[in-house]
A and B are shown apart, each in its own frame.
Chain A
Amino acid sequence: MAGSTLVIKDLHVAIEDKEIIKGLDLEIKPGEFHAVMGPNGAGKSTLASAIMGHPKYEITSGTVTMDGKDVLEMEVDERAKAGLFLAMQYPSEISGVTNADFLRSAINAKREEGNEIPLMQFIKKLDKTMEYLEMDLNMAQRYLNEGFSGGEKKRNEILQLMMLEPSIAILDEIDSGLDIDALKVVSKGINAMRSNDFSCLIITHYQRLLNYITPDFVHVMIQGRIVKSGGPELAQRLEAEGYDWIKKELGIEDEIEVG
């Protein structure tokens, strides 16, 4: 795989008729790591879910393309097969389906019929990856995310990322609820993916994560739009000074919640 380019143009997204994203442009090229930061309610997670195709979100206008192909026309599973991956903020729990069975189904879904991953090869790769992420090997036989702690769920998302090897990963607040040790392990996993064929959209509320994963670009999202972009130094200034200076600089007024 030679990596992929994701292009988002003038994207508008609504949930239950309320517009959350109000015209957003972003381009991610192969090998690039982008961070999107912003205060609560800016629409960061909505962006992640809309790109992946969460059924609750309605794209009211704009385009999302991957290597020129219309992502918004694709079913959720087709987006994954095209090389997209979303590490979710709140992964679902699926009772009765083991982590290992699920992962094997997911890997095989991407492969042609008759070309399924050999069982031994799968087990080796799974064991190796779990060890790398310092996970208890028994977690492979536990039901998918059922009864997992917050930190275990996040690690499990990164396990899936590393097993499925997508070309573009979106990480939706992968750092929330993680202690410093878990944060280091999760970051280690993501950094291990770094290559010219892999790009990443990191959505986060805190600069802390970016101490471990250095982004090439940092974007500030406020009120459903990217209002400012820069390099890693932008994240550091946000950490030190908050978002108010940007609002002031750009003349953005706080929205008043109605209802």
Chain B
Amino acid sequence: MTTQVQYPFDQALIESFSVQNNEPDWFKNLRLAALEKIDVLPLPNPDRTKIDKWNFTHFQQHAQASSVYTNVDQLPEQVKSLINVEGGVKNLYVQHNQTAGFVSLSDELKQKGVIFTDLLTAVKEHGDLVQKYFMTNAVKVDENRLTAFHTALVNGGAFLYIPQNVQINEPIQTIFVHDNADAPLINHVLIVADKNSAVTYVENYFSLNDELEGIANIITEVIAQDNANVKFGAVDTLAKGVTTYVNRRGYAWRDARIEWALGLMNDGNTISDNTTNLHGDGSFADTKTVVVGRGKQIQNFTTRVIHHGKGTEGFILKHGVVKDNATTVFNGIGKIEHGASKSNAEQETRVLMLSDKARGDANPILLIDEDDVMAGHAASVGRVDPTQLYYLMSRGISKAEAERLIIYGFLAPVVNQLPVEGVKKQLTEVIERKVK
């Protein structure tokens, strides 16, 4: 592949962006080194979806100043409803396109040494920590063209650090509000949970306007040190015209646990990679994902758990509804490396088809390079079960309402696991709107 692509960015643009933000040299150099790799690296290769014609890298301008949200009152109503305002806003970061809004973190957590800030500030003020974990463990700069693109051009995001032995009970929340399509959302969330710590985190990617077009390149890295416990929730609702690459990765050390609850409700074409690397012995991953595909949307969801450590456990659950002319591919990969004895890789993928023209593909893969392990998978693609419909209707419930109940129940596993009531409600409403 030697065709010369004309990108809307170059070294000068990146340098000037970096200087404007007063970024330290190491970060600027990381960007510039990544820039060199964009052209030579291939696009990611999501199984069963062809993406070479998709636009992941072209945009009007790299960053544009948006109005700064300085408190909750300034937030649009739809965003406000995501927050538990009663009893005061606790631990929250809100970002407007690329512009960092306010961060709130309780005094108690500050005293305990918890760090929670926007990413570009973290690069400056907590450079040692960020440098150690940013694109080093979970995601690598040179994995593919989009990870290199991300590193070179990252223009927003958040950093959360939980020190050793700190257990946080209140959820930590981020909201990324998107209402300007000219500038790409190249967003990075880095969560580092130090030894024996515990945290529950939930994030929203939220398009305010249904008609937006543009690109989103999102990378989230969750590092769980020995015996740390991270519960991660997300609801994505980016607009129809937004092409999204979203890569959420976990890296678990000894006896660490990472639990994902992902409501992936974008309306545009989306490539999602959610991988957990069970590096340490006895580490654990549970990943629950629900998705709805509608319109002409093409989506590919790859969920992967890689077992390196001994006695590791990985559970994948994916439930998807596909309607209209949408195409949705679900790749579930359980990989047990040589030496990861006594490990257990389980996965379940269920796809519900609501139209004749929709396409759904469940693709379970077990890659096992060790004898003494357990593994299992279940996958199905089908329609709403007529026997279930009959059962509900035999109690007087109309066909439409019976279908609604069955579909809602089918997508419930993630809703039930989200830690913030407002976000739970939002996902419920989004599901109802999308499957109607």
| Chain A contact residues, CB within 8 Å of chain B | 52-55, 75-77, 79-81, 85-86, 88, 91-92, 94-97, 101-102, 105-106, 109-110, 143, 160, 164
CA distance A92 to B396 in the complex (A): 15
Contact of A76 among B394, B412, B413 (CB under 8 A): B394
- Select the stretch in B207-215, B235-243, B250-258, B382-390 that faces chain A: B382-390
Contact of B395 among A54, A75, A164 (CB under 8 A): A164
Contact of B388 among A52, A81, A92 (CB under 8 A): A92
CA distance A96 to B405 in the complex (A): 8
Q: Which residues of B contact A77 (CB under 8 A)?
A: 393-399, 402
Q: Which residues of A contact B397 (CB under 8 A)?
A: 77, 80, 105-106, 109
Question: A92-B387, A96-B410 are known contacts. Are A110 and B396 too (CB-CB below 8 A)?
Answer: yes
Question: A54-B390, A94-B405, A96-B411 are known contacts. Are A109 and B395 too (CB-CB below 8 A)?
Answer: yes
Contact of A160 among B388, B395, B405 (CB under 8 A): B395
Contact A80 B394 (CB under 8 A): yes
CA distance A88 to B409 in the complex (A): 21
Q: What are 30 pairs between A and B in contact, CB < 8 Å?
A: A52-B390, A53-B394, A55-B386, A55-B390, A76-B390, A76-B394, A77-B397, A80-B395, A80-B397, A81-B396, A85-B395, A88-B394, A91-B391, A92-B385, A92-B388, A92-B392, A94-B405, A95-B410, A95-B412, A96-B410, A97-B412, A105-B397, A105-B401, A105-B405, A106-B395, A106-B397, A109-B397, A109-B398, A109-B401, A160-B395
Contact A164 B396 (CB under 8 A): yes
Q: Which residues of B contact A85 (CB under 8 A)?
A: 394-395
CB distance from B179 to the nearest CB of A (A): 33
| Chain B contact residues, CB within 8 Å of chain A | 385-388, 390-399, 401-402, 405-406, 408-413
List the A residue with the shortest CB-CB distance to B416.
A96
Question: A75-B399, A77-B399 are known contacts. Are A95 and B409 too (CB-CB below 8 A)?
Answer: yes
Interface of B is mostly: helix
CB distance from B427 to the nearest CB of A (A): 13
CA distance A77 to B387 in the complex (A): 13
Contact A94 B396 (CB under 8 A): no
CA distance A97 to B390 in the complex (A): 15
Q: Which residues of A contact B401 (CB under 8 A)?
A: 105, 109
Contact B409 A143 (CB under 8 A): yes
Contact A109 B396 (CB under 8 A): yes
CA distance A102 to B397 in the complex (A): 9
Q: Which residues of A contact B411 (CB under 8 A)?
A: 96
CA distance A75 to B390 in the complex (A): 10
Contact B391 A94 (CB under 8 A): yes
CB distance from B296 to the nearest CB of A (A): 28
| New contact pairs (18) apart from A55-B386, A95-B409, A96-B410, CB-CB < 8 Å | A53-B394, A55-B390, A75-B399, A77-B394, A77-B399, A80-B394, A80-B395, A80-B396, A80-B397, A86-B394, A92-B387, A94-B392, A97-B406, A106-B392, A106-B396, A106-B397, A109-B395, A160-B395
For the complex of A and B, the 9 pairs showing the least CB-CB separation, nearest first, are A96-B409, A96-B412, A80-B396, A92-B391, A106-B395, A76-B393, A97-B409, A109-B396, A77-B393
Q: Which residues of B contact A53 (CB under 8 A)?
A: 390, 394
Question: A55-B386, A105-B405 are known contacts. Are A96 and B413 too (CB-CB below 8 A)?
Answer: yes
CB distance from A199 to the nearest CB of B (A): 18
CB distance from A169 to the nearest CB of B (A): 11
CA distance A102 to B396 in the complex (A): 11
CA distance A106 to B394 in the complex (A): 9
Q: Which residues of B contact A164 (CB under 8 A)?
A: 395-396
Q: Which residues of B contact A54 (CB under 8 A)?
A: 390
List the B residue with the shortest CB-CB distance to A79.
B394
CA distance A91 to B397 in the complex (A): 15
List the A residue with the shortest CB-CB distance to B397.
A109
Contact A97 B394 (CB under 8 A): no
CA distance A85 to B393 in the complex (A): 11
Q: Which residues of A contact B402 (CB under 8 A)?
A: 77
Contact of A94 among B394, B398, B409, B413 (CB under 8 A): B409
Q: Which residues of B contact A101 (CB under 8 A)?
A: 405
CB distance from A105 to the nearest CB of B (A): 6
CB distance from A171 to the nearest CB of B (A): 13
CB distance from B290 to the nearest CB of A (A): 10
CB distance from A35 to the nearest CB of B (A): 21
Contact B390 A94 (CB under 8 A): no
Q: Which residues of B contact A106 (CB under 8 A)?
A: 392, 395-397
Q: Which residues of A contact B410 (CB under 8 A)?
A: 95-96
Q: Which residues of A contact B396 (CB under 8 A)?
A: 77, 80-81, 106, 109-110, 164
Contact B399 A88 (CB under 8 A): no
Q: Which residues of B contact A55 (CB under 8 A)?
A: 386, 390
Q: Which residues of A contact B387 (CB under 8 A)?
A: 92
Q: Which residues of A contact B413 (CB under 8 A)?
A: 96
List the A residue with the shortest CB-CB distance to B386.
A55
List the A residue with the shortest CB-CB distance to B407.
A96
CA distance A81 to B397 in the complex (A): 9
CA distance A91 to B392 in the complex (A): 10
CA distance A5 to B435 in the complex (A): 40
CB distance from B128 to the nearest CB of A (A): 45
Q: Which residues of A contact B386 (CB under 8 A)?
A: 55
Q: Which residues of A contact B390 (CB under 8 A)?
A: 52-55, 76, 92
